[in-house]
Amino acid sequence: MIELLRKEINVNQLKLRNRIVMPPMATGKADHGKPDDSLISYYAARGRGTALIIVEHEYVSPEGMAHNTQLSMADDSVIPAYQKLTEAIHTQGAAVFAQINHAGAQAQDSGLPTLSPSGITLRNTEPAPGVMTAEDMKRVTNSFVSAALRAKQAGFDGVEIHSAHGYLLNQFYSPLTNHRTDEYTGQTLEGRTRLHVGILKAVRMAVGENYPIAIRFGAYDYMEGGSRKEEIPEASQIFADAGADLIDISGGLNGFTVKANTEPGWFSELSILSKRSVQIPVILTGGVKIAEEAESLLREGAADLIGIGRAMLKDPDWALNALK
């Protein structure tokens, strides 16, 4: 019986009508950084019955662009297109978050020098990415703040800060890509999360206390020498204390799948650790195809919300059908 999946839940003061989330999935169909009418229709169709749509990642500054077909939140010219997008999704009764991101060493196509914590490349490109300075930290933080304010102005109900899948903030979190010895050191959890904390606090100050902020947390690298599962409770609490209202669990440098796990809820062993340590909601995404699988994960206490990825790509009415 589907019961928990139907239940409302609050993220900060935003009430979500059920526990179904469309997670951010890159389409690579941006029109000069903006959503065109076809992309707006694509998202609006998946708003039917869904509680929350997290739109695919948008770069916060040109040097942080992952690829040239990525959405942008880097300047004010994008706001009118996003206003059309948010209005279309809201018409379907769903809430919508913008996922803001800096690709760091994974950036490409901008023609600008790339940035990273320690100059370690992840794309085997030349020249190697530059090592970020204190001034770079301030500039990147300000870029996240400006992007969040644009998202708010465009009608998004919240923002999600991307720290997973090998992008910049995940590069700081992983000891494999953070070899720094300064205050952002890769040797301690405090150092590895310092930039996250600075960005979360700065965004919170800019958008206000009642505006939801999520973080996509690449909680585990699944690689020797990388981030460890045992760190998840403390890291989750650090993010919550810094202002996060929602933690969206995914993989780290390994990406968004787990080769060793094909069961529904690929990252459930990670999301449980996060959920048990914080008082804010946690999202789990990965391999859930039918409503009964989502309900089971909620009953097990694996998460508070369930992301439906590929199944929702195939069926825009997945949420409506699941709640019948």
R_g (Cα) of the chain, nearest Å: 18
Supply 312's token pair.
């929702």
| Annotated catalytic residue, options 43, 167, 184, 222 | 167
ω into 127 cis (within 30 of 0): yes
Residue for token pair 């699988």 = 293
Q: Other C-beta atoms within 10 Å of 278: how many?
A: 18
For residue 175, what is the DSSP state?
T
> SS3 for 24-73, per residue?
CCCCCCCECCECCHHHHHHHHHCCCCCCEEEEEEEECCHHHCCCCCCEEC
42 is catalytic: no
Say which residue the tokens 């195809």 belong to. Answer: 289
The CA-based angle 157-161-164, given to 5 degrees, is 135
Active-site annotation, residues: 167
